[in-house]
Amino acid sequence: MNASEARQLPLQGLKVLELGQLIAGPFATKLLGEFGADVIKIEPPGTGDPLRKWRMIEDGTSLWWHVQTRNKRSVALDLRSEEGQGLVRQLAAEADVVVENFRPGTLDNWGLGWEALSQLNPRLIMVHISGYGQTGPYRDKPGFGVIGEAMGGLRYLTGQPGEPSVRVGVSIGDSLSALYAVIGTLLALQERNRSGLGQEIDVALYESVFAMMESLLPEFDASGQVREPSGSALPGITPSNAYRCQGGDYVLIAGNGDSIFKRLMGVIGRDDLANDPALAHNDGRSQQAEVIDTAIQSWTEERPRDAILQALDEARVPAGYPYTAEDIAFDPHYLAREMIQTFTRPNGKPLKVPGVLPKLSATPGRIGDGGPTLGQHTDDVLDELGIDHETRAKLRQAGII
């Protein structure tokens, strides 16, 4: 990246210290790094972030690693040692943001909590991501994303009625929490521009999921109704479902807008439903969801998927099908919008990775480098702190770096 490109990155000059591992905290800092923040990732010497060994491994490193940790500098440092904690305090004194996802109280026990670091650096913004938050009766319980998804209400709704719930196939609770962490960071930076002071940001996994649950709570409060699993349908929003096609494929059709519903019914030859006053609006359609879904299913199961999609596209009815990784990798729309990017790994092999979001017209983000090797930037970062070569040698010999 040249100097002119560097000036175009909106978070250029922001220094972020990542004290975390696996998914939520590192995903948040990944997003900040894509828009120019200097992210310094602290990892335990010898082992590093466990994510290095998660999912598919090639040449000893997780392929996920090259997405989750791009644009970061890796410093191998023992946080449990007094010397390592002292170095982190020096880094935090010069940082704008610290992101951590340890269990609440862990950093306080190491002298690296908010009270200690904010005294060193009153402008510091400290982001905590944990299962249950920094307060409340559950704060000390361990919590991973899947537990947050369960407590937040999502897991109960996934699956078919009467069957055990299923999990979403990605770590959605962690990723949602990371997004809230980034939103909180940007809000705190804006406030710091006014007051000159930093603050804490408290993100809980279960709350990040719960915030996505739409009308779940008010419906229960108003009526005592507990929303139940509904398979591929979206209760109370009709029609919006998955429909079997000829040959066993499925299409997803969202015909729940009033005018869209009429066009959909015209395509499937059901003008009687299109012109029924009782079905003119969503509340009436939802009372007859089974009738409408049956009519659509009768039409789709007699036609191949591509023919269905073409007919619905021509009628301007939102429709699609469940994409596989292969579908995504070669889809012309993904490619046109540069959501499929390729970078060259240290072993010389190319690797396709997701592009950067959100898309900014004047100051777009960057793909940059893939995940660093463990401790790749330890000497560079400690040199920036003024730690001389002899001291670094002693720390390395002691296993602290």
Q: Which residues are designated catalytic?
A: 174
Bridge partner list, 204: 130
Look-up: residue for tokens 């990605």? 170
Query: Tokens 């199961």 map to which residue?
Result: 301
3-class DSSP string for 40-93: EEEECCCCCCHHHHCCCEECCEECCHHHHCCCEEEEECCCCCHHHHHHHHHHHH
Instruction: Outline where 196-304 has alpha helix (H).
Output: 205-210, 216-223, 258-267, 271-274, 282-287, 289-300
DSSP strand pairing (350-354 vs 340-344): antiparallel
User: Could you say which DSSP state residue 280 is in?
Assistant: S
Distance CA 31, CA 68 (A): 9
Q: Where are the alpha helices (DSSP H) in 196-226?
A: 205-210, 216-223
Q: What is the DSSP string of 181-200?
A: HHHHHHHHHHHHHHHS---E
Residue 45 to residues 61, 78, 81, 383, 397: CA-CA distances in angstroms? 16, 6, 12, 18, 12
Burial of 344 (0-12, 13-18, 19+ CB in 10 A): exposed
From the list 18, 37, 22, 15, the residue with the least C-alpha distance to 368 is 37
Contacts of 304 (CB under 8 A, 6+ apart): 245, 246, 247, 249
Can you spell out the DSSP letters for 143-158?
A: --HHHHHHHTTHHHHS
CB 42 within 8 A of CB 18: yes
Interatomic CA distance for residues 36 and 88, integer angstroms: 22
Strand runs (DSSP E) across 302-387, as ranges? 319-320, 340-344, 350-354
Nearest to 129 by CA among 107, 151, 109: 107
